[in-house]
Amino acid sequence: MDLVLRTIFVFFLILVVTRAVGRRELSSMEPFDLILLVVIGDLVQQGVTQSDYSLTGATMVIVTVALLTVSTAWLSFRYRRLRPVLEGDPVILVADGRILERNLRRQRMTVEELGAEARLAQISSLEDVRYAVLETNGKISFVTS
């Protein structure tokens, strides 16, 4: 039972931390970020299982994480009010061709990063963008005029 409680705590801790870090940072991982993610995974494993290396303990942890993942997905699907908390909301970065600096700052993005994403989408200038939306998965959608 101790393993289940530690797993539940760590699951929600990871949920809060990933929401705080921001979707943009998570969608564009650098090599250091990937290494950090692996280290965090190892630390989480040690914190959850401590010295329990049994097959039963591993099974309990895996089943608990799976149930929590399915539960949060179901809650997000079933209760619309929970979606912003569990998944986040899309954020408009450009509206009617005008860059929304406040939204960029809140997402810790620069105009240069937005421009680079536009170029990757085959858009030569931000002036050609009618809307740009930072989606909940960290990708930017562009609508041109």
**Distance between CA 21 and CA 97 in Å, rounded?**
28
pLDDT at 125: 87
- pTM of the entire predicted model: 0.67
User: Is 91-144 assigned to CATH 3.30.300.10?
Assistant: no
Amino acid in position 78:
R
Ordered by start, the domain boundaries in the chain are: 2-86, 91-144
- Tens digit of pLDDT at every position of the chain (145 positions): 788 898 899 888 888 887 777 665 556 666 777 777 777 888 788 878 777 778 888 888 888 988 998 999 899 899 999 988 888 889 999 998 899 999 999 988 999 999 999 999 999 888 889 999 999 888 899 999 7
pLDDT at 2: 84
Beta-bridge partner residues of 143:
131
